[in-house]
Amino acid sequence: MTKQTLRPLDGITVVSLEHAVAAPFCTRQLADLGARVIKVERPGSGDFARGYDQRVKGQSSHFTWLNRNKESLALDVKQPQAQAALLQLLKSADVLVQNLAPGAAARMGLSYEALKAHNPRLIVCDISGYGADGPYRDKKAYDLLIQSEAGFLSVTGTPETPSKSGISVADIAAGMYAYTNILSALLLRGKTGEGSHIDVSMLEAMGEWMGYPMYYAYDGAPPPPRTGASHASIYPYGPFAAGDGATVMLGLQNEREWKIFCDAVLQRPEVATDPRFCSNAQRNANRAALQALILGVFAGLTAAQVVERLEAAGIANARVNDMADLWAHPQLQARQRWRTVGTPAGDVPALLPPGVNSAFDYRMDAVPAVGQHNAAILAALGWSAEQIDALQAPQAI
């Protein structure tokens, strides 16, 4: 099938006062679908996430990941002339996204109530740690702190040590819900002709993702224990060492698979009916004994031999990959999921967004330098070269 050149969000303009992860994650996905995303940054330093590290040709890994396809407009929005330019831009924009400090956008006249008088079709999405009201409204919120407040740390890690996620899971959750809420708001605007206000809270996003452990602990029941990389309530389900020192991840879902596992993988069919292991509840209660038994069998095999047995038996399994393995993953290569995007320091590889669409190709354009698009954006708003130059003297851009 020939793909069309039109993308779902072509013609949509998004202005974003964003930094770090949550809002940039949201807006990059909008840009991948064709939206024009104008990223408003501090003159000079830009989004502070640009300085998190220097791992990608001297650039930040977070920033490179989250900011392709965007235009950078450097504005000191505390200065009147720069604020006037921003308000002029918002009069014709479709979406404003912001994750500034609580109340900061409203103090600059960028609340939904203030902006809808000038642009009733504007969709305003505010992303914060705890939401626009309530006793925690003004509390500072970083990813790890929200993981903690949402109870994520209580179910993640080992029995001895709670562990945070290795990625910014609370920021990503909030960015994902901002993205889907904006798409919904655009659909609704198509029916009503009017914009709307979206208030996304990191705590509420993580609260949704914590639904299983919350219900598991319903009405005062004990919560799921921290079990490292193993499943909290299904066993065997998790990492097991083979005789060559490598680790195999495997997972059993039902009693049929348990019997097959004992027959074909352990090659000890009598274990399936052992009273200690004859149901998941019993296997869960006797983890230590079953783990010792499995490791005893696996000790005489290499990881490749364990995987061969698991595959032949139809038992789910996976390699315990590191980042080098993911870069070189044969499945991503086979499905042609890699593209090249530009950055201020040169081209880098980038994964296509999840979801292969038969109708269109995702946009995969460059990561911008700070203020790279100042002149083009302001000129399109009708500013003369002299007016643009005048903004540079007080470092308003």
Q: What is the CA radius of gyration of the chain?
A: 26
What are the two backbone dihedrals, phi and then psi, of residue 271, each rounded to the nearest 5 degrees? -65, -30
Q: Which two tokens stand for residue 348?
A: 């880098």
- In terms of Cβ atoms closer than 10 Å to its own Cβ (0-12, 13-18, 19+), residue 307 is buried
The number of C-alpha atoms within 13 Å of 289 and in the hemisphere containing its C-beta is 10
Q: Which two tokens stand for residue 343?
A: 């950055």
CB 393 within 8 A of CB 369: no
Identify which of 68, 75, 24 has the alpha carbon closest to the alpha carbon of residue 368. Answer: 68
Concerning whether 231 is annotated as a catalytic residue, the answer is yes
23's CB contacts (< 8 A; 6+ apart) are 16, 17, 97, 98, 99, 127, 175, 178
User: Measured between alpha carbons, how far is 345 from 225 in angstroms, rounded to an integer?
Assistant: 46
Catalytic entry in 197, 231, 329, 373 = 231
β-bridge pairing 247-251 and 316-319: antiparallel
CB 32 within 8 A of CB 69: yes
Q: What is the layout of strands, in order, in the sheet containing 197-201?
A: 70-74, 36-41, 13-17, 95-98, 123-128, 197-201
Amino acid, res. 279: S
> Which amino acids are annotated catalytic?
231
